[in-house]
Amino acid sequence: MVRMRGTREQKAETRERIVEAAGRLFRRHGIDAVGVDAVMHAAGLTHGGFYGHFASKEALVAEVAAASLARSAARWEQISEEEPPAQALGRIVDAYLDAAHVANAEGGCVLTTLGPDVARRAEARPAIAVSVRAMAAALERCGAGGEAAALAALSTMVGAVVLARLADSPEFSETILEAARAALSPVRQGEGG
Amino acid sequence: MVRMRGTREQKAETRERIVEAAGRLFRRHGIDAVGVDAVMHAAGLTHGGFYGHFASKEALVAEVAAASLARSAARWEQISEEEPPAQALGRIVDAYLDAAHVANAEGGCVLTTLGPDVARRAEARPAIAVSVRAMAAALERCGAGGEAAALAALSTMVGAVVLARLADSPEFSETILEAARAALSPVRQGEGG
DNA sequence: TGTACATCAGTGAACGCGCGTTCACTGATGTAC
DNA sequence: TGTACATCAGTGAACGCGCGTTCACTGATGTAC
């Protein structure tokens, strides 16, 4: 296999690779369906090395959930700062309520893939809540209305993706996404909250 | 322990007890965190008898998800038929977007507790989709607007409960619920869809 | 520049445990006579 | 009404397997001289 080049920075990179691989696998197959073995293999390592990076699988889960959602929040913040409000809101909402997002659970929003599972793990919740606030704040900054309107919009987005993944046909899935898009259109025209 | 009284109806009752116990445990702790052993014990039986009722744990999971959500849908349908539309809609929405529902995952809506997990199991999806349609139809019958408005309202409700369970404080949890309630108030005044 | 040693990220065999599943058995019930 | 037998829901010991975790070891790198 690939030999490591040694230093501490290398180890940090490896750790990040583990977190990213775990993030993809957990979101796709569910946390309990993916063993430490599978995560390490996906990161190009053997399972024994895992405990040089994390105290337990639970610690990895907490870090994965926090890191993945923080990244989503950071992306929204960046869009909300770089683009005109209406355009930024459109980009965020349209990308979220998209069939590609529904199909790509592996790379999708943690709230829609692991939300209920993370909610059962008290240690993971504080970091998640911080990102939820940040995501709502980004929507607010895009002109989605006040805090309440932004939280409601986020709720609609999360719920729609969860339901779209439960649909029994691509058509029903798209109907749900379109319904959510339509419901959010007043918010996008500055009529929300 | 309690001795069975023998007949086939008894067996059907036992089976139902297993499904109900599993429903409560799965929603509370997650599917993979609950073994067949725990389910049977909660139903007042020993684990060996499980396979006289179900072909596998997976078969139980599919039945639990379908049965639990079908019951939710039936309740909504009943409310939507027995009460005046506006009142029925208020009862459904207020009960869903309630701190008691958020706290009581064990007895709560399957969409918010097992949604992403069920979405990964293709066999379970058709039955779930039927109930999702039925729930949206019940909202529609209560005057929540057309199909699209009803699906969007359901999305908001599901997402809000998922987010409320991820909150790091009761206050933030209540803020999310209240935001969703406020967002749905136009729908409740017949302005939706 | 070259050699000897310490470090430590990663390896891979091994562990104990709990899970899903199987199966020979039990004993209460319903039925046949 | 009473006895003998068949049925079958439920019991509980046992199984193999895969999981999370541990640990003695490896070998490439950085450092000391």
Tell if the CB–CB gap between A155 and B129 is shorter than 8 Å.
no
Four-residue CA torsion sign, A12, A45, A123, A24: positive
pLDDT over 70 (residue B117): yes
- Nucleic strand D within 7 A of Cβ A47: yes
What's the pLDDT at B144?
Answer: 86
pLDDT at residue B6, as a whole number = 47
Band the pLDDT of B188: cuts 50, 70, 90.
Answer: confident
List the single range of A4-8, A107-111, B74-78, B173-177 with lowest mean pLDDT: A4-8
Strand C closer than 7 A to residue A45 Cβ: yes
DSSP annotation of A190: T
Looking at per-residue confidence, does A8 or A22 come out higher?
A22
The count of other CB atoms within 10 Å of the CB of residue A135 is 29
Interface touch A30/B117, C-beta < 8 Å:
yes
Is the pLDDT assigned to residue B193 strictly greater than 80? no
Number of neighbouring beta carbons within 10 Å of residue A114: 27
On average, the pLDDT of chain A sits at 94
Q: How confident is the model at residue B186 (pLDDT cuts 50, 70, 90)?
A: confident
* Contact residues, A window 46-105, toward B, CB-based 8 Å cutoff: 105
Mean pLDDT within A39-67:
97
Mean pLDDT for A124-152 is 97
Three-state SS across B89-102?
A: HHHHHHHHCCHHHH
Pick out the nucleotide with least CA–C1' distance to B51.
C21
Model confidence pLDDT, tens digit, residues B151-177:
999 999 999 999 999 999 999 999 999
Across the interface, whether the CB atoms of B147 and A176 are under 8 A apart is answered: no
- The pLDDT value recorded for residue A188 is 80
What confidence score (pLDDT) does residue A189 get?
77
For residue A51, say whether its CB is under 7 Å from any atom of strand D: yes
Neighboring chain A residues of B116 at a CB cutoff of 8 Å: 30, 105, 112-117, 162, 165
pLDDT value at B2 more than 90? no
Using the structure, give the distance in angstroms from the CA atom of B2 to the C1' atom of D3, rounded to a whole number. Answer: 27
B164 CB-to-strand D distance under 7 Å: no
For strand C, the positions having any atom within 7 A of a protein Cβ are 8-14, 18-24, 27-30
